[in-house]
Amino acid sequence: MIKKLLLTATLLLLLGCETGVKNQRTSGDDGISSGIVDRGSVGTTHYASSTEKSHNSTVHKIFSTSAQPGFYLQMALFEKYRPTKAFLKPLDNSRFNYIVLNKYNKDYVLIGAYKSYNEAKKQIASVKSALGKQTFVVQVLRP
């Protein structure tokens, strides 16, 4: 009797435990990939996906004494070679201000500067439509 009870309890325990397989996103997935609940909004439940983060934790920071501090849109990063004139020509012909910042033996092509994160984020769509390049927000700070 005790053996049956222990065997049944062990079986239930094994069935109730995770199998070690991570949740995999399928084509019919609704975008909820984790069970993290944001309790910041009262009365509503919001499930945060693994790609959703507050902007403070996702903004990459670059420390520079030569560039104006602020928020920028990073368009490209060149590790081995400098950006060519052909690459920079669409930027020259556009209405966007840009800089090429050499830091950490890398060349960053940054569009901006913007005063706030939200102002820079609003420009992502216009940069993508004008230049056909995907960008993201970075913050340049003084060391």
pLDDT attached to residue 15: 53
**Whole-prediction pTM value?**
0.59
Whether domain 55-141 has CATH 3.30.70.1070: the reply is yes
49 pLDDT tier (thresholds 50, 70, 90): very low
Q: What does the block give as tokens for 91?
A: 């930027």
Q: Is the pLDDT of residue 100 over 50?
A: yes
Distances (CA, A) of 136 to 16, 73, 105: 41, 5, 21
pLDDT attached to residue 8: 75
Distance CA 21, CA 19 (A): 6
* Higher pLDDT among residues 2 and 98, named by residue: 98
- Rounded mean pLDDT of 57-83? 91
Asked whether 37 and 48 are in contact (CB, 8 A), the reply is: yes
pLDDT attached to residue 19: 45
11 pLDDT tier (thresholds 50, 70, 90): low
Distance CA 65, CA 138 (A): 16
User: Within its chain, how far is the Cα of 74 from the centroid?
Assistant: 12
- Rounded mean pLDDT of 69-92? 95
What are the structural domain ranges in the chain? Answer: 55-141
pLDDT attached to residue 12: 60
